[in-house]
Amino acid sequence: MRVASIIDISLVDVPGIPVTVLFTAGCNMDCPYCQNAEIIPTTSGDEMTIDEIVQQLRGNLTDGYCITGGEPTIQKDLSDLLKQLRLEESKHINLNTQGTVPDVLRQSLPYLDSVWFDIKTIPSSYCKVTRVEKDPWSRVERSIKHVLDSEASFWPRTTYVGGLTQSSDILKISEILSDLGFEGEYVVQNFVKSKGTREADVESFTEPDLDELKSVLVNIPEGISLRLEWR
């Protein structure tokens, strides 16, 4: 497995649970607002065995693990890592994913407690927003269904990027989630520039209109609560 880095402890990645964070290297998308752009290349990071990763993760006195990236599901041995962590410990295991590799996600779900699922945009805008040639929405939708059919908690979220995201997109995504049978909290967070963001990519971004976004709240489907995280 290719690993970019490991953070010993984080208090923000999984609500209420201090976790050790594993950043896998490589992603099959190229979102212009990515905060970890340096680890998008599949050649980034270092190759580590599952045993090496597990040994390093277990050296931290936290209550769980957050596996993020990059996109963890492009690592074919992801489920092997999760299985080993689950078999020997009862700690909380969280996965961050954008859902483009549904088969690997499905194999991983028996070992997961929760999934942060990044829904990038509405189906018709996926290629534009993620800068991929082949429309990934059918795979993303299949992954959402896999998580909803599992025992893992499904935590959907979208990053609102001024210039890329419209308030109507948030309403549409909420409707899609409702149609798929989801009831619960849908998190919308604003884009925040960081040291990992590519300068040239963010020049055209604008400040999102929070008042406009709030105006769609009255039309959010019953059963879904929208949580705005403006930082």
* pLDDT score recorded for residue 6: 98
Alpha-carbon span 10 to 92, nearest angstrom? 13
| Residue 203: band (very low, low, confident or very high) from pLDDT cuts 50, 70, 90 | confident
This prediction's pTM = 0.95
Asked if 4 and 25 count as a contact pair (C-beta separation under 8 A), the reply is yes
| Average pLDDT estimate for 200-227 | 87
pLDDT in tens, 72-111: 999 999 999 999 999 877 899 999 999 999 999 999 999 9
Specify the CATH class of 2-229 in words.
alpha beta
pLDDT at 58 over 80: yes
Q: Where are the domains of the chain?
A: 2-229
pLDDT at 202 over 90: no
Alpha helices in 30-166 (DSSP H): 50-57, 78-88, 102-108, 126-130, 137-148
Helix (H) or strand (E) holding 64: strand 64-68
